[in-house]
Chain A
């Protein structure tokens, strides 16, 4: 139950509270919409960038992944409220990222440095 119920507050206070509540409500919606516009903009940029030759193939991959990481951060940070989450959840995600990087590193390292007499097709 709302602590500022009409029975316990003066009408002016109730109006001010309702107004503040509406402002709070609108600012949240506005933030979600801004994130959404940024996500759509990011998608447009990703498509456009894929049609531009940056010289090196690695640069094109880098640009695409950089934008994708930005979009994923916006979704995780604001839609999933990660920006205001507890430290324990950060801990879980940091461990996940570390294990993921480890997985990448070990696999790629073995790919780059195959044992002698290994043939690839």
Chain B
């Protein structure tokens, strides 16, 4: 059992105040992340409204199966990390550890699937530039530029999340957290959920444009 007083940083009066401050800090950071991704979504909306046909044609070359599997993986990982926070709040640090390990594994699965998909995309010559796949309208390269930029940046966030949660899992295994002190688990979970939310929007916008036509 960790000593609660040793977990308290000196600038705080007590653990609840420390917990509130770290949660506020994480939400503020996530607000900046929303605006950071917001710029990319903005470019997407602007160019999609300018070239709807080219975007629809370009999007048909994305692989829906990979995108759907990854959506299911990320949603499940959000559940496991939420349950990990709940477990540590209840003082069940062993359960918290295993749920964090499961979340890290889901994160790795996401990256593996994404890697396979990138491999297939490259084989299909879907990297914008002089060797871009022939037969597609020239503006569809804008879609593919945004695809690589947005999913690449998202994958970077997943990688950071996997690293972060691995450290938190290791700390949980060492018995660093208890029902009284668990804010590192809580704020890391907030970050992971945010990464999930970004994917919730990327999935329909990149993979599912005009699939009916």
Chain B residues with CB under 8 Å of A53's CB are 212-213
Is the CB–CB distance between A57 and B35 below 8 Å?
A: no
- In the bound complex, what is the Cα–Cα distance between A80 and B201 (angstroms)? 17
The number of residue pairs between A and B whose CB atoms lie closer than 8 Å in the complex comes to 116
Chain A residues with CB under 8 Å of B79's CB are 32-33, 35-36, 79
With an 8 Å Cβ cutoff, the count of chain B residues facing the other chain is 48
Is the CB–CB distance between B71 and A75 below 8 Å?
A: no
With A75-B197, A99-B35, A100-B34: A92-B46 Cβ-Cβ less than 8 Å: no
Enumerate chain A interface residues (CB-CB to B < 8 A). 25, 28-29, 32-33, 35-36, 39-40, 43, 46-47, 50-53, 57, 60, 64-65, 67-68, 71-72, 75-76, 78-80, 85-86, 88-89, 92-93, 95-96, 99-100, 103-104, 107-108, 111, 120-121
Enumerate chain B interface residues (CB-CB to A < 8 A). 20, 23-24, 27-28, 31, 34-35, 38-39, 42, 45-46, 49-50, 52, 64, 68, 71-72, 75-76, 78-79, 81-83, 86, 90, 138-139, 189-190, 193-194, 196-197, 200-201, 203-205, 208-213
